[in-house]
Structure 1
């Protein structure tokens, strides 16, 4: 884990030997590495926040709240969670996430234009962002919130298979944002 990650990381910083470390925490670390490409410092800070909160709340790191705590640790830095109809919050959040890599998403219009704003919704704009980020080697992912909102994160497109496999192991239902929940 971050304390001794050199013992477990491969060349991409992912922990691959789950026999020697807590498997659940190692998977959380791997997810944070995927959604913070090139920014291990942020991944480490989020991992520490997650571990600290989980330690305060329960002795079981696989408690029901582990994903909610993780979502709180990454929100507005490496992930987003917006209301189902909050187009402005989505655009702001995704512009912020894309800005981490000096990318700009072409939304196809201006939200200040009433006609444009009335013609788009959150799922449509997630698809626009997905396409725009893919052009630069990134994938926008969405995860099932179990409610009316939309949430997700960005990772390198080359890690798409790893993202699907890791989220499957964690029991988190994700899909590309071109097909949001």
Structure 2
């Protein structure tokens, strides 16, 4: 694993936190933006962000910026640690992945039923409804659930601190990732 390039200092890039009025530097490289995204989706866990950043560097070492689609490279790096991707009709995998992701903050989401792993509940549940339930539950704890448009029959996304919503709306599109809050 490699530490972030010396071309930018990840701590100085947004040293005062993420500003709602911030603009992305047109000269900022993909690597700098990926680092900022990883910090956003791993709040309070710079160790995981750094490990994922090293995996990003390894995966893209021999590629030019134009040869990668950041969302797809990142998806494999963050899956089940800081992000999720499930098939549109797999409610069980969605509940399981979100439950796993929020466990890192010691949260247990209220899915509106006693047992969210119950087959009867999952057979009737739609991913769209579950996204709204998870979004609302996470907002009550100060987090935002984001989804990105995959262009496939899957739903993918991650979570950030709600106070970083404006930063996500800047950083993700700068990487070519079309995101929206899940709610």
- The answer for the alignment partner of 1:66 in structure 2 is 70
- The answer for the alignment partner of 1:174 in structure 2 is 179
- Deviating beyond 4 angstroms after TM superposition, the runs of 4 or more aligned structure 1 residues are 16-19
Cα RMSD, aligned residues only: 2.4
Distance 1:13 1:168, change over 3 A: closer
* Structure 2: unaligned runs, 5 residues or longer: none
Give TM-score, length-normalised by structure 1. 0.86
The size of the alignment, in residue pairs, is 175
Q: Decide whether the 8 Å contact of 2:70 with 2:177 is kept in 1.
A: no
Distance 1:116 1:24, change over 3 A: same
Q: Distance in 1 between matches of 2:41 and 2:11?
A: 19
The secondary structure found in structure 2 opposite 1:139 is: strand
Q: Distance in 2 between matches of 1:161 and 1:9?
A: 13
- The answer for the alignment partner of 1:35 in structure 2 is 41
Q: Distance in 2 between matches of 1:112 and 1:77?
A: 20
- The answer for the alignment partner of 1:87 in structure 2 is 91
Give TM-score, length-normalised by structure 2. 0.85
Q: Distance in 2 between matches of 1:41 and 1:62?
A: 28
- The answer for the alignment partner of 1:25 in structure 2 is 31
Q: Decide whether the 8 Å contact of 1:54 with 1:66 is kept in 2.
A: no
Most deviating of 67-76 and 110-119: 110-119
